[in-house]
Structure 1
Amino acid sequence: MENCPYCNLTADPEQQIIFETETCAYIQKLSEQKVLEGSGLIVPKRHAVDVFSLTSAEWQDTQELLLKAKAYLDERYDHEGYTVGWNTGEVGGQSIPHAHLHVIPRFSNEPLAGKGIRYWIKQKENQRSTLSTKL
């Protein structure tokens, strides 16, 4: 796709391909990341709208790149965990309609440390629980 930033990975001079396979690439921004330091994305080279449209080869290459990215990040950062995930569809938080897997090292001194992907769901569950107890 002509205007898709992930279909033309070399168009953005701040974006660097760290690793690639035949079907996918692991990329990071070169500029200093003030939030989510060390984070990157695994993207299929083919324009796949979301995770559900990946081919078997893209799934296999995504796994290979995820393990390479982990080893790469483990060597460079003193982090204590990871958040790894797909956002799918606008309502699911996907802002660019090209499949991309977020690979984010997490640090104990960041504001949302320990919250994880289910943090917001747990917040809602706790609010509902508190309301039903008050009734």
Structure 2
Amino acid sequence: MEWLKQNPNAHLTAKERDRASFPLRWLAERGKIEGRVLDYGCGYGADVRYLERKGFDVTGYDPHYAPEQPTGEFDTIFCGYVLNVLFPEQQAEVLMHVSELLKFGGKAYFAVRRDIRYEGFRTHRVHKKQTFQCNVKLPFQNALLNDFCEIYEYQHYPLTQEWNGCVFCTPSRQRRPITESATAYAIYDKYPVSEGHALILPKRHCADYFELSAKEQQACWLLANRVQTILQQQFQPDGFNVGINVHAPAGQTVFHAHIHVIPRYKGDVGNPRGGVRGVVPGKRSY
């Protein structure tokens, strides 16, 4: 991925601490750390050791310092000062991964810095290499805000929404998303065309895909790429159809923009030639 080549030194911002970070201590002191815990982006592990001393069942994950992939689901996930040193695309990947690891009904906490005055690349004081930093705003509930940091509290999207008349703005509280980011989420289709048929949806209500902002469209396609990977691992399809219905004459029946990701299997139709061209009868073959 191109942004990984452009931002290769994000891990150099990890700090060797002799005590737990302020956001983690603040959460623990208020009883917000519960059950099985994951420190996502744990760096050198000071927060993990702090929680271990407190008796928590805690796992640390960091792609550079503790690279063993976490397994199962976690009641609480803490992600401290990670997003500030990542590009937006990398931030989205972290949010998606956290949403997939979090138990449905659990809570994740994202701590971000609020004392960054100059965004962009800078020469790291210790390592003398270019590292990136930026301010981050998330559309999640605020747990703490001061001059130095902000802590966001996150739960899966369906658990935070009140009914507003749109089944996609307020999905069933019993339906866990496949994955989600700050501005988009993915669910399995209630009436699937094939096994694994998924929908990618912006969280903002908008009927027409082409009226979404470029940021929202990008968020949807980042999610679509992630969902394709998940579906490939889970269902082993032989191909995919990906499509969007825009307005009733094109077949749209729920007027909240969404992208269909439909796994395809050898033999599921007699002749698959033409694929999405089949939306107009008689035009599939050419």
TM-score, with length taken from structure 1:
0.79
The CA deviation string for residues 70-112 of structure 1, in whole angstroms up to 9 with x for no partner, is: 1101101121110100001111000001000000000112126
Q: Would you say 1:73 and 2:231 are equivalent positions?
A: yes
| Cα deviation, residue 43, structure 1 | 0.4
Match of 1:61 among 201, 219, 232: 219
C-alpha separation in 2, matches of 1:19 and 1:34 = 18
Which secondary structure does the structure 1 equivalent of 2:251 belong to?
Answer: coil
CA distance 1:62–1:96, change in 2 (3 Å):
same
> Contact 1:24–1:44 at 8 Å: present in 2 too?
yes
Quick check: 1:23 aligned with 2:183? yes
Higher CA-based Rg: 2
Q: State whether structure 2 residue 282 is matched by structure 1 residue 101.
A: no
Cα distance in 1 between the residues matched to 2:201 and 2:262: 14
Paired residues of 2:168 and 2:256 also in contact (CA < 8 A): yes
Aligned with 2:177: secondary structure? strand
CA deviation profile, 1:46-70 (whole Å, cap 9, x unmatched):
0011111111211111121011001
**Which one of the candidate residues 258, 269, 277 is aligned to 1:118?**
277
In the alignment, the residues of structure 2 paired with residue 35 and residue 84 of structure 1 have an alpha-carbon distance, to the nearest angstrom, of 12
Q: For 1:27, what is the secondary structure of its paired residue?
A: strand
Q: Which has the higher contact order (CA 8 A, sep 6+)?
A: 1
1:124 positional shift: 4.6
Q: What amino acid sits opposite 2:239 in the alignment?
A: G
Superposed structure 1 runs of 4+ greater than 4 Å apart:
none
The residue matched to 1:83 in structure 2 has which SS? strand
Unaligned runs of 5+ in 2: 1-162
Letter in 2 for 1:3: G
1:90 to 2:248 alignment: yes
User: Which residues of structure 1 form unaligned runs of 5+?
Assistant: 127-135
C-alpha distance 119-56 of structure 1, shift in aligned 2 (>3 A): same
Q: How far, CA to CA, are the matches of 1:61 and 1:34 in structure 2?
A: 23
Tell me which of 186, 198, 202 is aligned to 1:40. 198
Which residue identity lines up with residue 8 of structure 1 in the other structure? T
Task: Give the TM-score of the pair, scaled to structure 2.
Answer: 0.39
Q: CA-to-partner distance for each residue in 1:94-133, whole Å, 9 max, x for gaps? A: 000100000000011212651411025472587xxxxxxx
The 2-side partners of 1:63 and 1:100 are apart by: 11
Separation in structure 2 between the aligned mates of residue 47 and residue 34 of structure 1, nearest angstrom: 22
| Secondary structure, aligned partner of 1:117 | helix
Structure 1 residues 125 and 69: CA distance shift in structure 2, 3 A: closer
Percent identity for Structure 1 against Structure 2: 32
Contact (CA 8 Å) 1:16, 1:28: kept in 2 or not? no
